[in-house]
Amino acid sequence: MNFDAYTDLSVVTAVDLVNTLDVETGLDVLTEPDHLAKFLDDHVDSYDRPLTAVDVADVRHLRERLRLAFTLGSIDTVIDLLNDLLAESSALPQLTDHDGVWHFHFTPPESSLVAHMAAEAAMGLASVIREHGLERLRVCAASGCARVFVDTSRNRSRRYCNPDICGNRTNVAAFRARQRAAEASD
Binding site for Zn ion (CB under 5 A): 45, 140, 142, 145, 147, 161, 166
CB of 40 vs Zn ion, minimal distance in Å:
12
In the complex with Zn ion, the residue whose CB is nearer, 122 or 140, is 140
Task: Provide the 10 A C-beta neighbour count for residue 156.
Answer: 13
CB of 132 to Zn ion, least distance (A): 21
Q: Please identify, using beta-carbon distances, which residue of 83 and 96 lies nearer to Zn ion.
A: 96
- How far is residue 133 from each of residues 12, 78, 96, 141, measured CA to CA in Å? 17, 11, 29, 19
Q: Is the Cβ of residue 11 or residue 142 nearer to Zn ion in the bound state?
A: 142
Nearby residues of 83 by Cβ (< 8 Å), 6 or more positions away: 122, 126
| Residue 37 burial (CB count, 10 A) | 16
Name the H helices within the chain.
Answer: 5-18, 33-43, 53-71, 75-88, 113-132, 168-185
How near is the Cβ of 76 to Zn ion at its closest, in Å?
27
Of 67 and 147, which has the nearer Cβ to Zn ion? Answer: 147
Q: In this complex, which beta carbon is closest to Zn ion, that of residue 74 or of residue 96?
A: 96
Q: How far is the CB of 166 from Zn ion (least distance, A)?
A: 3
CA torsion through residues 154, 155, 156, 159, sign? negative
Query: Residue 173 CB, nearest distance to Zn ion (Å)?
Result: 13
Minimum gap (Å) between residue 42 Cβ and Zn ion: 15
Among residues 47 and 72, whose Cβ is nearest to Zn ion?
47
- For residue 5, what are the CA distances in angstroms to 15, 18, 31, 45, 59? 15, 20, 29, 13, 23
Are 157 and 46 in contact, with CB atoms under 8 Å apart?
no
